[in-house]
Every structure is written in C-alpha cells, then in structure tokens.
Structure 1
Amino acid sequence: MTQMQATNHPTSLRERFTTQLPLVWISLAFLAGIVLASLVPLPLWAWIAIFVFSILLAIAFRLLATRIPSLSSLREPQGGAFVLPLVLLPALILGSARYQLSIPNFDAFHIAFYNDRDYDLLITGYLVEPPDYRDAYTNLRLQVTNVDTGDRNLEANGLLLVRVDANQSFHYGDIIRLRGKLKTPPENEDFSYRDYLAAQRIHSYMSSAEVTVLPGRGGNPISAALYALKERSLANIYRIFPDPESSLLAGILLGVDTGLTKDLQQAFKDTGTAHIIAISGFNISIIAALFVTLFSRFFGPRWGAALAIFGIVFYTVLVGGDAAVVRAAIMGTLALFARQIGRRQFALNTLLAVAMLMCLWNPLYVWDVGFQLSFFATLGLILYAEPFSHFSAGVLARYFPLSTVEKIIQPLSDFVLLTFAAQLTTIPIMAYHFQRISLVSFIANPFILPAQPAVMILGGMAVFLSLLWIPLGQLAAWVAWPFAAYTIRIVELFDRVPHGTIILGDLSIGFVILFYAALLALTVGGSRFGEWVQAARERASVIGVGSVVLVLSLALLLISRAASAFPDRLLHVTFLEVGSADAVLIKTPSGKSVLINGGPSVTILSDELGRRVSAFDRGLSWLVIANTEEDQVASLPRVIERYPPDNVLWSGNEQGSFSSRVLDEYLTLQAIHVTMAENDQTLDLGDGATLRVLSTGSRGSVLLIEWKNFRALLPIGMSFEALDELRNGASVGPVSVLSLADSGYAPSNPPEWIANLNPELIVLNVAAGDIDGMPDRETLETIKDYSLLRTDQNGWIEITTNGEQMWVNVERNQE
C-alpha cells in the first residue's frame, strides 16, 4: 500500500496543477501579459491581432486533436500539461492588450495635457475624497471639470493631486478653484511618485496652490453620506480617546494613520507590526481569522465565519470603501473563506481569479505595493496556515499529553502560526520595497495580536456609541483604551531590542523571483508538505500563557495611568520635543494642566499631550500663547479640538501668522474666554506656584514660573525691547532653569543675559539639523560652562520640583 501511494503521488500532483487549478494558470498568464506589455511596447491593434491569432491557433489545435489519433491523448486529463499552454496564450495576450488600453491619451480635454507649463492655471473641480490632513500641509484629490489657461475657460477631465496649506478645512464634494502651476509627478532612483499616482489614475500634481471654495456640491450623495459618517467618527475618536491611542484607533478603524508620529510609525515598521495600522489584506485576513475564533466560541463555526465576514463588509463601508480598502477586504475574506471550507484548490483558483479581475479593472495594480502585500499575505494564509498548525500539533504531541496539546495549539495557531504563514510569503516583497527585514516581528506579533480583537471590537463599539451619545461612548472608551495602550507600549518595547531589524539596501528583482521559485519548489515538490492532512482538533476554550501576559500587562497599564491622574503635589515643567519651536506643558501641584505654545506638528504635540494629560480629564486649565509665529502655533488649531482649554492667555499679534488667525477665529467660535496678556500679570497655579508675565509685546511674551525657591524663565516671545525692559536679565535675577530664546539665536541670547540670570540648568529647544543652523556658535560658546540639555539630543525634558529641590528626567540620555 505504501508503495502504491508513492507511485500515485506524482500523478495526483500533476492533475492538481493542470486540471484542478485552471484559473490559477489562466490568471497568472493574464498578469504576466500585463508585465510583458510594460516591457515590450506595441500598439493596441498589434496586441489585438496577436490575441485573435492565438485564439485561432487554440481552436485549430483542438480540431486537429479530434481528427488525428496520435493527438487524441492530449484531450485526456493527463494531456493537460501539453494543452494548457495553448489555452494560456490568449490569456497572456489579453493581459498585454488590457495594459496597452490603460495607457491614457493626454489630449486637450485631459488635465495632464497642461502639465509642466511655465504659467499659472485656474483649475475648477470637486473633491473626490476627504482631505488628507498632514502636519505642514493638506493633500486634496480633485476631479477636474474646467481649466482656464488665461485665454479661455475649457472643459477638462482627469484627477489632480494638489498640496495646500495646513489648517484649512475641506469636505468631500467641495467645489474648489485652484491657482498654481501644474506638474508631472516627480520620480527618482529610490521612489517613483509618478508611478505610484498613476496606479490611482492621477497624472497631474500641484505642489502648492491658492484655493477658493466655491458654492455648490459635487460627487456622489451616497459617498458624501459615508464620508460624513467617517469624518464624524474620526472627530469622536479624538474626542473620547487620548493620543497616541486615538491615532492608533483612527488608523485601525478608519484607515487614517496620519495622526501617528513618524517615530511611532517607524516603530511599527521596524517591529513588523505595521499591518495592524495599515488597511491591507494582511491586516484584514489576520483580524478576520481572530474574529472567527472569537465568534465561533459563542455562535459556532458557521455563524462565526458569517459574523466575521459581516464585520469586514461593515468595516469596508465605514472607512469609505475606496479601492485599496475594497481590494484588501476581498483578499481578506477570501483567506477566511478558504480557511473555513478547507479546500486550497478552490481557494487558489478564487484568489488568482480575483487578482485577475482587479487587474482587469486597473492593470497598474500589478506594481502597487499594497496589492502585492495583500495578494501574497492571502496566499500564505491559504497555503500554510493549516499545515503549520497540524505540523506544530504533531511536534507538540511528541512531548506533551493530548489534552495539553489541545490547550496550546489553538492560541499558538491564532497568534503565532497565522502571522508566520502570512509573513513567509510577504518577506521578499517587504525586503524589495522597504530594504529591511524585521527579525523581532516573529516575537512581537504573538504579544500584540491577542489584543487586536479587543482593540477593534471595543474601540469600534466606543465610536459607535459616541455617535449616539458622547458620554456613553466615553465610558466605552475607558474600557477599550487599555488594549490600544498595550499595543503601543509593546511595540515601543520591542522597538528597543538591538539589531531587531536588518537593513538590506537595494535588492534585485531577481532575489524576489528566486525566493518565490524556491518556495514554490518546496511547497509543490515536498513529498508530504504539499498534502492536506486531517482536520484540526476541536477548539479548546482555555486561557494560555499569552493571555495571562496580556491581562497582567493591561492591569499594569490601568494602575499606572490611574496613578498618574492623581496630583502628586509637585510642580512638573516638561519641555516637549517639537523641533525648533517651544511647547511647554506645566502640571500644577493640584494636578491641573497648562500648555504654553505648541510647535508646528499636530501629530507630535497631540502624542506628547496624550501621554501626559489625564485620560479622565483631557481639558487644559490654561492655554498660553507666548509667541504667534507660524512654527510656534501651527499645531494648536487642530490640537485644542482634542484638548480644549478652559481659558486662554494671549500675548502677541493675533494676525501675526496664518495659524494664529485660524486659532483666534476658532477660540471666538467656541466662545473660549481669551485674556490679553499684560506686564506683571500672574496666573495662580495652585499651592503658591505662579506663572508671571514679565514682558509682553507684538511678538509675544517672556514668562517666569515661580514656586518657593524654584524659578524657570521662558523667553518664548523674546524681543530686543524685552531685553532692554528686563535690563538684560538684571531685573529678573538668578533662575533655576532657563530656556534659550529662538532655538539659540545669538542676538536673542546675549552673554549679559546669560550671566545675569546665572541658571542652574539651560534648556535648548531645537530640531536636529535645524535648517537655519541653530543654535549659533556664539551662543554655545557663551553657555559652555553651564549644564545644558537639548531636545534634539535628549528628547523631552521634564523638570520636577517641590519648590526646594529639582529633579530632571529626559527621554534620551547622552553619553
């Protein structure tokens, strides 16, 4: 019997790949045709002619096979290996023809016809997506309707990506008029922005533009309603959750990951957990599988799978249903469906067929990184998830009793093997596009994935309830917050592991091809690896070691966060790392929060405040504007929506910058009380601590924090008039802490000023590689004999005092 099985195995393997998987090969041929056409440019009529010829050739061969006895065997299943290429040739040519057809014709009615002209254009259109808000700018996607070249207004079509100034509000369907120069999207050796946008049918780009919102609405009413729901949900997320947890949930639930700081986004990438915040087939496949595990325990396998698919559909609709999300949802649902029915042949046929249909819609998906990751992650789950589970169960059965194996294998499969199966087939894609491989990801994912169902379910429930009634959503948010906080803390913990990421540099496409060829050979050619083994054991409802770790970690987070919410009767002054600007957070002895300025970055400031302001009371007692320059206040209009102040103390010109004007308008609309700063004005911080205005002018103010023997001077709005008024510091006297003015600009920090103040500690707020070359060498020479801490080197700097003693804590210690 053993010998017979060994003899029949090659035949069944051949039949599987030639008879049982026809759509696999047809779809692969179609995709290969798209790549071929990109390498061999031929006119469309040539590809159509070759396609017709290939169809006629296949028909002719089929007719010959019915009449010539020597070819009749090729009609049998075992002859499929020879007949299949004749069937694939038309698919190959069809893919090439479809690619050629997708190349746009830039005539005078297409907006790209007007690219790279030396004069400004007036372009009118409507927004086809919600605005993409970033720290320093906002991206808008416009469906063009008209273009005015200066001679006349012409009808036009096509999509346009435009970058406009930050702190302007837009909505889906807004009709806007742009003035600016139209460009072809750029490309370089490292990245082709042109190809990236072309895959989204965008061939024109404006790097800056003047924007005017016109009356009327455009777009689809259904899409408008969905985007309005998404916009309201996003606002509520930031209202009921603190940062960075709110930004994480915005990425997971709504696909808006721009709220995370660059450092935190990089931490997710370096730990191989970025799939959690990116809407991809990888993310949806894993989360859907975890949902099935959870729902099946309560509703059974069939209802569990149905509820998981319903969850994916609802999620797709909620985030707006754009092409990337729909693609990921289809891939993720396929992986889930394949896992439930247990038939890889059917799943592979369906996966490749869906990939072919997607590329039939847009051939440029072949080069889209998101499409590639979604496809190969789903492929990995289909091919390897269950075999890995059964293999692991067999290995464990050698060392443990069956009852113990049943308890271990399910959490091991759901939180380790599932991810490993998806990672196995995406490693070369990640290595090729991002030039790095995360080794620590294989350890980080098992710790992070168990919390993700709770993050999505509880977080989604909190957002849903907030849409009904904010206080109800806030209660649910407090239940969901620990799981999101746990996710971030674990990512940051593993990101500190040395050598957790291997930087590879540029890789050849040959490496990717060789890897997949070797993996295919191992999968297909292994004597037993490619065979489906018996069904999985019954699920055991147990709490594994990973769950215990998760529960203990959540408890620790809750205790530490609750403890931080109670006042410790100390004064905390924290200089936040916001670049070459000032953002100072004061936590008073009574536990109140006072923010002075904010810097240019919304994501950084919101993240820093979220980690320090109580999650149970996220309002600010006071917001102090000490300088109205753009980089000093650009983050505030959007951040104070999340951390609303009870009162505002304002110094400087309200019209001093664009962001200061927006901020002033917002405070007026929200009826927030604003007090204009005056010399010697004092804010009571509680327990005798005060914040005093020493000098104020059109540029801003110089502030002094005092509590018993502790004195901290903040010359954020320093001016030459202030220097004279304060007699170069002689009228102030010695201080405990001095913040250098204007990131160390020498004229704002003269030697007499430093000598008269004689600080125990100097703090320098400056960005790494400051574009203006700050701090000046003269300033560094002046303060060389003083203790100095810099935000570009030390990160955030926290000064804690009881009024008699001072303790200093920093984010990064320098050797």
Structure 2
Amino acid sequence: MRKYLLWFLLIIILVIRVIYFYKNQPSYPDGTRIRITSRISSEPIRYSSSQFLKLQGFKIYLPSYPEVYYGDQIAVDGTVKDGELKDPKLVGVKESKIFLYSIREQLIDFYQKNLPQPHSSLIAGVTIGSKASIPKDFWEALKKTGTAHVVVASGMNVTLVSQFLISFLALLFPRRRAIPMALMGVWSYAILSGFDAPIIRASIMGSLVFVAQEIGRLNFSLRALFMTAFAMLFVKPDWLTDIGFMLSFAATLSLILFEPKVDRFFKKIPAIIRKDFSTSLAAQVGVVPILYFGFGQFNVLSPVINAMVLWTIVPITIIGMVGGILGLIFEPVGRAVLLLVYPLTSWFVWILRIFN
C-alpha cells in the first residue's frame, strides 16, 4: 500500500510541476520579434544551404555559415511564426570550452575524413549520436524503413559503455570504487553523445542499475524506467511533447513487457535471427502508434528490416569507438581499425536500398 501511495504522490508532484512549467512559459504571438539566447543542447542538422536546430521550443533554420556546434552558446534574432523563428539572424556565438564537446567534433571529423558517405554518417550516428551530416536521401531511407532509431546513439550504446567500464575497472579497483568511476564514464559518454532524451534515459537507468547492484536489488526494470521518466520530466517538462522522448520510453517499456513473450513465441526460429527479430517486433508494439500519429508513416516490414541490420550495430559501435579514439591519438592506426567497419556499414546501406 505504501509503494502505491508513493507513486501517487510522485504523479501529483509531476502534474503540478508540468502545469507550473507551462503556465509560466512566455507566449509570443505570430509576428513578434524576439531574441533567443541559449546553449545548443543537440547537434544541428546541416543541409546544403542551412543548418537546423531547436532552441527553447522554436524551430530555427540558420544560414549554413558560420557553423554552430553542439554546446555553443548562441544568440538568435527572429520573427515568431507557427512555432518557427523566421528570418533568423545569428547575433552572437560563444564557443563551448568543454573538453568533451571538442572531442566529439574531432571524432566526427575523423569519421568523415576516413569513410565515404553515407558510411561516415552512419558510424558517427551509431557511435556518438551525430545526425548533422546524414545525407537527406539516406535519412529518408532510414525513416521509410523504420531504422532511423538505430543510427542515433541510444540506450544500447550506454549499455555497451557501462558494461565495458565496469568490467575493466573491476579488474583494477574494488567494486565499490569501480562503480562510481563507471558512473562518471557513463555520464561523460552521455555528454559526448549529444545528451538527447534516449541517452539521458539510458544513463539514468544505467546509474540506477549500478546502484541496485551495489545494494543487491536487480529486479526493478519497470520501476527504474518510471523513476527515470519522473526525473527527466521534472527537470525538463517540455519533453512531455517530445517525439524522441515518447519513442524512447515506449520502446523501452515494450521491450520490458513484451520481448520475453515474443521471443518464446518464435522459439523455433534460430537464435541468431530470433533475438534481433524479437527485440525489434516487441519495440514496435509501443512505437507504432507514435510513428503513425507523429509522422503519418509506418513500414509493416520494419521488424524484418530491423532484424537484418540490428546485428551490425554492436560491432559498428565497438569498432567505431575504438577506431575513433585510436585515430585521435595516432591517425594511421585508427584509420586501419575503422576500415574494419566498412563491410558492416555496406551491408546496412545495401539492405536499406533494397527495401527503400
């Protein structure tokens, strides 16, 4: 009874927080000229003649030059119209001095320098969540085939990083010391990967799992998910209407609830195929309604397509990370490692072209 009362109180607190947030949001009628000063919290998407970003809820298409980057503090003048800042003018840029932001840009440059498109964008997206340089036709193919979710750094990447860190650090330090150090590593990766909703969710959940390991309570996935939702929405209530946030939580909830059942249902399928297919199909249960109402599209073959490409994501992530880090230290070695990923990205691109 007490736990239900606690959840009820948390829901009430969150509702009050959301109402207070939206009630105190400034309202700008269409035609209002405003200036927005804000830090860029996700990487701008670059087109041939513009760069797209969102600041304080407004869609903004800036000229392609000067380029602005994730982490920069910028000031933009423009006219409000239908949720967009029209005729935007960049009036100030304060470049980020945070070390991890610089590392992120260097990694993206390294991938672009050593792999052709769309392979470089694919590995940059999978590894560190960079969407800036994804070619338009490739992005459209990803959306049509229902695979766009795999080319942005996600919970799986956080899981890989956390598992590697805890395994490695546990060899060097007692577990009580290794866990806090692994937590620092996970959150450093979250910053490096763009700090988008899926990454934050996975980082919070990963942190909770580490704590659960320490206190001996592992079986609390659903509670961890809802605790994460509460924390994220309490800090940033406008994520309540963010499609990325919705997709992230719907997919995770569906995996927790349905993946074991789907896996058992298809138990006669070979395990090497069944795992990715079951994961994809279970995730689709939650995301289909959001995709349909949010984008007006859904590919019925998406589970099959995902099953054909999901197996490449783990090796692409690992090789991309290792190659990128080595490339920043000694480029020829990093390039040699990075080339190992080319057959995997080629398979991914080929599958998309078949089903697009």
Give TM-score, length-normalised by structure 2.
0.77
Residues in 2 aligned to 1:418 and 1:333: alpha-carbon distance in whole angstroms: 23
- Give the match for residue 247 of structure 1: 121
- Give the match for residue 206 of structure 1: 85
Q: Which has the higher contact order (CA 8 A, sep 6+)?
A: 2
Are 1:371 and 2:257 counterparts?
no
In structure 2, give the amino acid aligned to 1:439. V
Secondary structure of 1:426 counterpart:
helix
The answer as to whether partners of 1:288 and 1:336 remain within 8 angstroms in 2 is no
Are 1:256 and 2:130 counterparts?
yes
Measured against aligned partners, the alpha-carbon deviations of 1:650-669 in whole angstroms (never above 9, x if no partner) come to: xxxxxxxxxxxxxxxxxxxx
Measured against aligned partners, the alpha-carbon deviations of 1:157-201 in whole angstroms (never above 9, x if no partner) come to: x787643211323356767665x54315x1xxxxxxx4xxxxxxx
Residues in 1 aligned to 2:49 and 2:279: alpha-carbon distance in whole angstroms: 39
Cα drift, residue 102 of structure 1: 0.4
Are 1:284 and 2:155 counterparts?
yes
- Structure whose residues are more often helix by fraction: 2
Measured against aligned partners, the alpha-carbon deviations of 1:758-792 in whole angstroms (never above 9, x if no partner) come to: xxxxxxxxxxxxxxxxxxxxxxxxxxxxxxxxxxx
- Give the match for residue 380 of structure 1: 254
Secondary structure of 2:134 counterpart:
coil
Rg (Cα) greater in structure:
1
Residues in 1 aligned to 2:144 and 2:336: alpha-carbon distance in whole angstroms: 34
Q: Which runs of 5+ in 2 are unaligned?
A: none
Residues in 1 aligned to 2:229 and 2:289: alpha-carbon distance in whole angstroms: 19
Tell me how large the CA RMSD over aligned residues is. Answer: 4.1
Are 1:97 and 2:10 counterparts?
no
Residues in 2 aligned to 1:275 and 1:211: alpha-carbon distance in whole angstroms: 31
Secondary structure of 1:242 counterpart:
coil
- Give the match for residue 107 of structure 2: 233
Cα drift, residue 485 of structure 1: 1.5
Cα drift, residue 467 of structure 1: 0.8
Cα drift, residue 225 of structure 1: 1.9
Are 1:163 and 2:61 counterparts?
yes
Query: Structure 1 residues 265, 323: CA separation in 2 closer, same or farther (over 3 Å shift)?
Result: closer
- Give the match for residue 51 of structure 2: 138
- Give the match for residue 267 of structure 1: 141
Calculate percent identity across the aligned residue pairs. Answer: 24
Measured against aligned partners, the alpha-carbon deviations of 1:424-464 in whole angstroms (never above 9, x if no partner) come to: 23222222222233221222222211211111111221211
Segment of structure 1 superposing worse, 363-372 or 239-248: 363-372
- Structure whose residues are more often strand by fraction: 1
Measured against aligned partners, the alpha-carbon deviations of 1:604-645 in whole angstroms (never above 9, x if no partner) come to: xxxxxxxxxxxxxxxxxxxxxxxxxxxxxxxxxxxxxxxxxx
Of residues 400, 418, 421 in structure 1, which corresponds to 2:282?
421
The answer as to whether partners of 1:175 and 1:218 remain within 8 angstroms in 2 is yes
Residues in 1 aligned to 2:10 and 2:185: alpha-carbon distance in whole angstroms: 35
Give TM-score, length-normalised by structure 1.
0.37
Cα drift, residue 114 of structure 1: 8.9
Residues in 2 aligned to 1:438 and 1:321: alpha-carbon distance in whole angstroms: 28
Of residues 333, 337, 355 in structure 2, which corresponds to 1:476?
337
- Show the 5 A alignment for 1:280-319: 283-285=154-156, 288=159, 313=187, 315-319=189-193
Measured against aligned partners, the alpha-carbon deviations of 1:212-232 in whole angstroms (never above 9, x if no partner) come to: 557xx476x4xx322111111
Are 1:436 and 2:349 counterparts?
no
- Give the match for residue 79 of structure 2: 182
The answer as to whether partners of 2:100 and 2:188 remain within 8 angstroms in 1 is no
Segment of structure 1 superposing worse, 243-252 or 316-325: 316-325
Residues in 2 aligned to 1:322 and 1:426: alpha-carbon distance in whole angstroms: 18
- Give the match for residue 232 of structure 2: 358
Cα drift, residue 333 of structure 1: 7.3
- Give the match for residue 494 of structure 1: 355
In structure 2, give the amino acid aligned to 1:466. G
Measured against aligned partners, the alpha-carbon deviations of 1:313-359 in whole angstroms (never above 9, x if no partner) come to: 55423224355531344357779999xx9976x22222222212222
Cα drift, residue 292 of structure 1: 6.8
Of residues 113, 116, 135 in structure 1, which corresponds to 2:31?
116
The answer as to whether partners of 1:462 and 1:480 remain within 8 angstroms in 2 is no
In structure 2, give the amino acid aligned to 1:163. Y
Residues in 1 aligned to 2:332 and 2:65: alpha-carbon distance in whole angstroms: 28
Number of equivalent positions: 341
Residues in 1 aligned to 2:185 and 2:273: alpha-carbon distance in whole angstroms: 24
Secondary structure of 1:439 counterpart:
coil
- Show the 5 A alignment for 1:494-513: 494-495=355-356
Query: Structure 1 residues 287, 102: CA separation in 2 closer, same or farther (over 3 Å shift)?
Result: closer
Residues in 2 aligned to 1:336 and 1:260: alpha-carbon distance in whole angstroms: 34
- Give the match for residue 460 of structure 1: 321
Q: Which runs of 5+ in 1 are unaligned?
A: 1-17, 28-87, 143-157, 187-193, 195-204, 397-404, 496-815
- Show the 5 A alignment for 1:539-618: none
The answer as to whether partners of 1:286 and 1:418 remain within 8 angstroms in 2 is no
In structure 1, give the amino acid aligned to 2:13. L
The answer as to whether partners of 2:127 and 2:157 remain within 8 angstroms in 1 is no
In structure 2, give the amino acid aligned to 1:207. K
In structure 2, give the amino acid aligned to 1:377. A
Residues in 1 aligned to 2:95 and 2:163: alpha-carbon distance in whole angstroms: 40
Cα drift, residue 135 of structure 1: 2.2
The answer as to whether partners of 2:30 and 2:80 remain within 8 angstroms in 1 is yes
The answer as to whether partners of 2:142 and 2:148 remain within 8 angstroms in 1 is yes
Query: Structure 1 residues 209, 362: CA separation in 2 closer, same or farther (over 3 Å shift)?
Result: closer
Cα drift, residue 100 of structure 1: 2.0
Residues in 1 aligned to 2:210 and 2:301: alpha-carbon distance in whole angstroms: 26
